[in-house]
C-alpha cells in the first residue's frame, strides 16, 4: 500500500526534503506556563528544536498550530514521521 501524506487545514502536508541540523541547540530558559500558540506559530515550516516537559529534546517541523496542539513532522534519527503534540507538553522550543 502506498504512503498517503497526512491532510491538514492547508491540504496535503509534506515532510522537509532534508534532515534537520546535526546539533542540538542550547536550551533557552524554561517556562512555567504552557507554550502559547501565537509564539510557536512563528516556527511553522521551519526546523524547530523541542524540549518536552519530560523526555529528551528532538527536532520537529511544524505544519499546523491549533489552540492547544501543534502537528507536523518529528525527526526520528533517520526520517521525518508525522506526529502531534499538546502545547502543554512543551517546556521550550527554538526555531531556525
The tens digit of pLDDT for each residue in 58-95 reads 999 999 999 999 999 999 999 999 999 999 999 999 99
Domain 30-95 has CATH 1.20.272: no
Q: How far is CA 13 from the centre of its chain?
A: 13
pLDDT in tens, 18-55: 999 999 999 887 666 778 999 999 999 999 999 999 99
Q: Are 22 and 31 in contact (CB under 8 A)?
A: no
Amino acid at each position: 500500500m502506498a504512503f498517503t501524506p497526512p491532510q491538514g487545514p492547508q491540504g496535503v502536508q509534506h515532510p522537509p526534503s532534508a534532515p534537520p541540523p546535526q546539533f542540538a541547540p542550547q536550551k533557552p530558559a524554561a517556562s512555567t506556563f504552557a507554550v502559547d500558540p501565537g509564539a510557536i506559530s512563528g516556527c511553522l515550516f521551519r526546523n524547530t528544536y523541542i524540549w518536552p516537559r519530560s523526555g529528551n529534546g528532538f527536532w520537529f517541523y511544524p505544519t499546523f498550530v491549533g489552540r492547544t496542539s501543534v502537528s507536523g513532522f518529528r525527526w526520528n534519527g533517520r526520517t521525518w514521521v508525522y506526529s502531534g503534540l499538546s502545547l502543554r507538553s512543551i517546556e521550550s522550543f527554538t526555531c531556525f
